[in-house]
Amino acid sequence: MAKYIHKNVEGMESSLEPIKFSGKVSKLMQLEEKLKEGDFSSLEFDQSIFNFEPYEIILIGMPVYGGKPPTIFDGLLRKANGLEEKSIIPFATGRIYTKTMIPNMKQRIEERGAKVPFGKAVRNFFKIKTSKIDPLIEQIEEYIAE
pLDDT tens by residue, 111-134 = 999 999 999 988 876 777 888 899
**Which amino acid makes up residue 37?**
E
Residues 104, 67 contacting (CB under 8 angstroms): yes
Q: What is the Cα–Cα distance from 27 to 2, expressed in whole angstroms?
A: 25
Q: Which domains does the chain have, with CATH numbers?
A: 2-12+25-145 (3.40.50.360)
pLDDT exceeds 80 at position 27: no
What local confidence, expressed as pLDDT, does residue 125 receive? Answer: 66
pTM of the entire predicted model: 0.84
What local confidence, expressed as pLDDT, does residue 10 receive? Answer: 83
Residues 19, 45 contacting (CB under 8 angstroms): yes
